[in-house]
Structure 1
Amino acid sequence: MDPTPALPPTGPGPATAGPAAPGPAGTRRPAPRLVRAVVFVLLADALAWVVCLPLWTGGRGLAWPPAPAFILLMMTTPALAAVLTARLLPDGRPLRTVLGLAVPWRRGWGVLVVAWLGPLLLSAAAVALSAVAGTLVLDLRGFSGYAETLEALGPLPLPVTVLVAVTLVQLLFAPFLNGVAAAGEELGWRGFLRDALRDRRRAEVVLVTGVVWGTWHAPVVLLGYNYPDVAPLAALGLMAVFTTLLAALLEWVRAASGGVAGPSLAHGAVNAAGGLPLLVAAAGQRPSSVAVGLLGWPGWVLMAAAVAVLVLTRRLRPAARQEG
């Protein structure tokens, strides 16, 4: 059964066309959706820069030990921007609806399993494609690259093969913990922003949310996050490519599961699998971030293929309107 049935248009035309319908005396007219979207994006970006400002002062950057805590705090800014925008520019609907907080008790459980395991399998396939393409040399016996990384921190407490096995087991459960942190972003991207764009075609929603999501990472990407071996502005462009492809897959999860819980879980799984290339790489190599794993072109190829399958099987209809 198609988990994403065709959705009817929300109205005869974009919600921003023409003046808002008059309401009862003394009531506040809802702000146009486009205005809500723009205000949200500006707030999310501004809050991200404010949170990450300490990373830019004093030349500390990502090498500063507390940097991960600031990045984690930055992940809450889209949700905060969404709540602030909804309060400043209300449209008369419950905040729960605007943020996509529906819990998929009766539908979408199969999609949640895909959201949990799919990114892990996709990340593993991207590593395999990197190895086939020659951009990553694997060591699946001695895990010499991982051992090299750990030995730089001190003596190994256990054999490296045992440590790899423990890490892989943790990788299965990490998406749930990471998904809680990722919800701070998803309440903004697949929650508020998607809702504000619900009168647009699905392809437009994916493109806008993907680019906004990618450029929102500017405070850390420009410091070398994710693409440390690329010029800062080029890295930001690469990040936007990655997030746009991923946004298409998360849009299917969002539509099929009916809320942001699914995208949050999938987002958490992607973050959890980010270090997979380091786990299986051979020692003595410095692979390019653009050519290895899910963040590099092997991952882009696989994500684009997955999006094509969803479109061809009509599970991600480019022309479908978003539910209101």
Structure 2
Amino acid sequence: MSGRDLRSVGVFTALAFALAWLLALPLWFGDGLASSWFTLMATATMMTPAIAALVVVFFVERPKQKAWTLGLWPLRPVRRLLGYGALGIIVPIALVLVALPVGALLGVYPADFANFSAFQQVIDEQAGAAGAADIPIPIGALIAVQLATLPLAAFINLVPALGEELGWRGWLLPKLMPLGTLPALLISGVIWGLWHAPLILLGYNYPDAPGWLGLTAMVGMCILVGTVFGWLRLRSGSVWPAALAHAAFNGAGATYLLFAAAGEHVDTTQATILGWSGWVVPLVLVVALVATGQFAPAKHPSAPPSRKGRSPEHPATGRVTGE
């Protein structure tokens, strides 16, 4: 990497982290995760990597083809983009769900795949609060509806997820690619994980763990899941599949509540996709992708020439297209 690239990465990282901490300050000096502003603050925080990337692109680097640099454009080849977009929806949901039986087999996730007792308890409590005796729909049917609607989350959550992915995989990952694919994926994953510190240290995602353990677990998860998102970015040449993947992943994250046993505690440092048992399948997937050469950036269609007749940089590699 050139000195200019290192400066850009430094400005981006410092700005993304500073903005995340700034937005979290009212929670730290207020009611923390119990604050009525928490959802709004968390959603706003997801936009900080995009703000950092836009500042660097528009005011530090100022490339001619800004949309290309961020991975927003072009939306072609259409077939490839749609294919990886579909994988971006399916794969994260599958990883979140398969983490649950793996955790159950390893003895760290208290599962009830037969009666869905924890979810049944929630439904009964909601029915009681509404003054109804019970819900006239079988619990299995409610579970099926919940699972069937998971892909919709990829579109419902797309805007805030794009707020993160525009920074992490849209801009940062390609900028780090001169270091090598695996170092770029590792470094971007570590940065992504540490960026969560303002909320993780308040108890978000890992409410029962000390701050250092929660943040360490978050970094581990972000490295593995971020590598999967990075694969989608590199192979598609676009940030959109990664954004869909991030949105689907967030939407599926709470499904562990559907299959837990009533009255049992779920330790997220060990169980679910957040904990070590949930990393087994993503790790196997990443190893398989590496072994089969699936992280090689896809060839990208030519773009309109930029200044002095040069083609713009390839959005996933940083190399000039047409070389």
Q: Indicate if the aligned counterparts of 1:201 and 1:322 stay in contact, CA closer than 8 A.
A: no
SS state at 2:278 partner:
helix
What amino acid does structure 2 have at the position aligned with 1:308?
V
| Backbone CA RMSD of aligned residues | 1.9
Alpha-carbon distance change, 220 to 314 in structure 1, aligned in 2, over 3 angstroms: same
How far off is 1:106 after superposition?
4.5
Instruction: Give the equivalent residue in structure 2 for 1:70.
Output: 41
Distance 1:283 1:149 in 2: 9
Identity %: 36
Deviations 1:91-116 (A, max 9, x none): 43322122111224242322222111
Alpha-carbon distance change, 76 to 157 in structure 1, aligned in 2, over 3 angstroms: farther
How far off is 1:166 after superposition?
2.6
How far off is 1:255 after superposition?
0.9
Distance 1:205 1:284 in 2: 42
The range that moved more, 286-295 or 304-313, is 286-295
Counterpart mapping for 1:249-288 below 5 A? 249-288=228-267
How far off is 1:286 after superposition?
0.2
What amino acid does structure 1 have at the position aligned with 2:67?
R
Q: Indicate if the aligned counterparts of 2:57 and 2:63 stay in contact, CA closer than 8 A.
A: no
Counterpart mapping for 1:279-298 below 5 A? 279-298=258-277
Q: Indicate if the aligned counterparts of 2:175 and 2:318 stay in contact, CA closer than 8 A.
A: no
The range that moved more, 210-219 or 294-303, is 294-303
Instruction: Give the equivalent residue in structure 1 for 2:2.
Output: 15
Distance 1:45 1:70 in 2: 14
2:12 aligned residue (23, 40, 53): 40
Q: Indicate if the aligned counterparts of 1:127 and 1:293 stay in contact, CA closer than 8 A.
A: yes
The TM-score normalised by the length of structure 1 is: 0.85
1:112 aligned residue (85, 89, 93): 85
Instruction: Give the equivalent residue in structure 1 for 2:68.
Output: 97
How far off is 1:56 after superposition?
0.9
- The alignment of Structure 1 onto Structure 2 pairs a total of residues equal to 293
How far off is 1:46 after superposition?
0.6
SS state at 2:258 partner:
helix
SS state at 2:268 partner:
coil
Instruction: Give the equivalent residue in structure 2 for 1:169.
Output: 148
Matched, 1:134 2:107: yes
Instruction: Give the equivalent residue in structure 2 for 1:322.
Output: 317
Counterpart mapping for 1:84-233 below 5 A? 84-102=55-73, 103-104=75-76, 105-152=78-125, 154-155=129-130, 157-159=135-137, 160-233=139-212
Q: Which 5+ residue runs of structure 2 have no aligned equivalent?
A: 298-315
SS state at 1:280 partner:
coil
